[in-house]
Amino acid sequence: MKHRNDDFAERREVAKNAKAALLEKAKARQSDPALEARRSERAAVAAARTEREAAKRAEAEARKAERQAALLAQKAADDEAAENAKKSATDKLIAQAVEDEAARKAKRDERYAARQARKR
């Protein structure tokens, strides 16, 4: 007659042996040279990927810096052109005012001369 504990002990022993077998299998896979080769290959691929991504980021940063510099140069040129246009407009107004003043003085002098001519 089997006892209940014998069945439990047997199952426990089988589970223990199964775990040991799995552990032994895992240890054997860890020392497998093909697995090591695959790991080193994956590491090399990952390193190359990281290097490509870094180069890509650096290139994008360089393009961004160039665009920023071009925008700053364009803005400076636009500001300078606006300043020159403003100065030119101011100079035109001043020249026009001087010209108008000279014309007004010339008419006044002409009237004065005519008045003096009538008096004589």
Distance CA 86, CA 101 (A): 22
Provide the token pair at 74: 């364009």
Domain boundaries, position 64? 32-119
Residue 98 lies in a domain: yes
Distance CA 54, CA 38 (A): 24
Residue 103 lies in a domain: yes
The Cα-based distances of 25 to 16, 28, 34, 38 in angstroms read 14, 5, 15, 18
This model's pTM is above 0.85: no
Residue 62 lies in a domain: yes
pLDDT tens-digit map of 68-105: 999 999 999 999 999 999 999 899 999 999 999 999 99
Domain count, the chain: 1
pLDDT tens-digit map of 9-28: 888 999 999 999 999 988 88
Residue 53 lies in a domain: yes
